[in-house]
């Protein structure tokens, strides 16, 4: 059974975050809120966690996983980014955008797009997510909690606990969060290509 943690949306309790981070570091898969709906997350090098996300979402090896980063210092360790792209991304973050960029050698090979050698990165604008990332001290390997054959992501912590009770190890709930996935912008070719229109305003990249 998944553990359920109810955390304050503006002042998340350190004790609860400590417990969730301990679970992540011990290999657990968690469902957690972001500024663009719930996500599934595990530690970066957690092969089993990655496999479980693929299984829950029925993903193939062409899916772009996302590194949920606390700030640009973290983001810059895992992707190659030139000054022009840096300025464009900086102006839009933190926010509900995922950016696809060429990965550095710090990114485990199993996370990369098999042909492009790219990975998704983003910096969320959500108090609880930011607090969780600060406590973890590293990016969280993540994927939107969108179940197969469903058009809408799951948005209620209690429902996630109920439906995925034996598929995730913990649910972190802070009440209402975003209900729409991120806008995805691919910068891997140099210019911005909007791959998915979502919660972030795509017009700034058009």
67: CATH: 3.90.870.10
| pLDDT for residue 178 is more than 80 | no
User: What pLDDT sits at residue 32?
Assistant: 97
> What average pLDDT does the segment 33-58 reach?
95
Task: Flag the least confident range among 12-16, 29-33, 111-115, 130-134.
Answer: 111-115
User: What pLDDT sits at residue 44?
Assistant: 94
Q: How confident is the model at residue 122 (pLDDT cuts 50, 70, 90)?
A: very high
User: What pLDDT sits at residue 179?
Assistant: 83
Cα separation, 206 vs 198, in Å, equals 14
Residues 14/5, Cβ–Cβ less than 8 Å: no
> What range defines the domain where residue 45 resides?
3-205
pTM above 0.85, yes or no: yes
Starting at the earlier edge strand, list the strands of the sheet with 183-186. 3-6, 170-173, 30-32, 39-43, 140-144, 66-68, 118-122, 97-102, 183-186, 193-196
CA nearest 128: which of 27, 36, 26, 35?
A: 35
User: What pLDDT sits at residue 102?
Assistant: 96
> What average pLDDT does the segment 13-22 reach?
98
Q: How confident is the model at residue 174 (pLDDT cuts 50, 70, 90)?
A: very high
Task: Flag the least confident range among 83-87, 94-98, 175-179, 194-198.
Answer: 175-179
Domains contained in the chain, number: 1
CA angle at residue 43 from 41 to 47, to 5 degrees? 95
Q: How confident is the model at residue 109 (pLDDT cuts 50, 70, 90)?
A: confident
User: What pLDDT sits at residue 153?
Assistant: 83
> What average pLDDT does the segment 102-121 reach?
90
> What average pLDDT does the segment 163-187 reach?
93
* Mean of the per-residue pLDDT values of the chain: 94
Beta strands in the chain, from DSSP E residues, in sequence order: 3-6, 30-32, 39-43, 66-68, 97-102, 118-122, 140-144, 170-173, 183-186, 193-196
CA nearest 140: which of 65, 196, 60?
A: 65
Contacts of 77 (CB under 8 A, 6+ apart): 104, 106
Q: How confident is the model at residue 63 (pLDDT cuts 50, 70, 90)?
A: confident
User: What pLDDT sits at residue 132?
Assistant: 98
């Amino acid at each position: 059974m998944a553990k359920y943690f109810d955390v304050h949306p503006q002042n998340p309790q350190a004790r609860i975050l400590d417990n969730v981070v301990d679970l992540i570091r011990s290999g657990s898969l968690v469902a957690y809120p972001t500024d663009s709906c719930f996500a599934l997350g595990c530690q970066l090098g957690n092969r089993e966690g990655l496999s479980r996300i693929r299984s829950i979402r029925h993903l193939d090896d062409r899916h772009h996983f996302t590194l949920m980063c606390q700030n640009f210092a973290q983001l810059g360790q895992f992707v190659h980014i030139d000054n022009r792209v840096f300025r464009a991304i900086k102006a839009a973050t933190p926010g509900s955008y995922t950016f696809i960029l060429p990965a550095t050698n710090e990114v485990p090979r199993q996370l990369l797009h098999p042909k492009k050698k790219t990975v998704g990165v983003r910096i969320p604008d959500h108090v609880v997510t930011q607090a969780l990332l600060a406590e973890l001290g590293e990016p969280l390997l993540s994927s939107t909690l969108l179940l197969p054959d469903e058009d809408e992501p799951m948005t209620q912590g209690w429902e996630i606990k109920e439906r995925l009770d034996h598929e995730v190890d913990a649910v972190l709930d802070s009440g209402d969060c975003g209900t729409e996935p991120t806008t995805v912008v691919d910068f891997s070719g140099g210019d911005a290509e909007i791959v998915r229109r979502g919660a972030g305003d795509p017009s700034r990249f058009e």
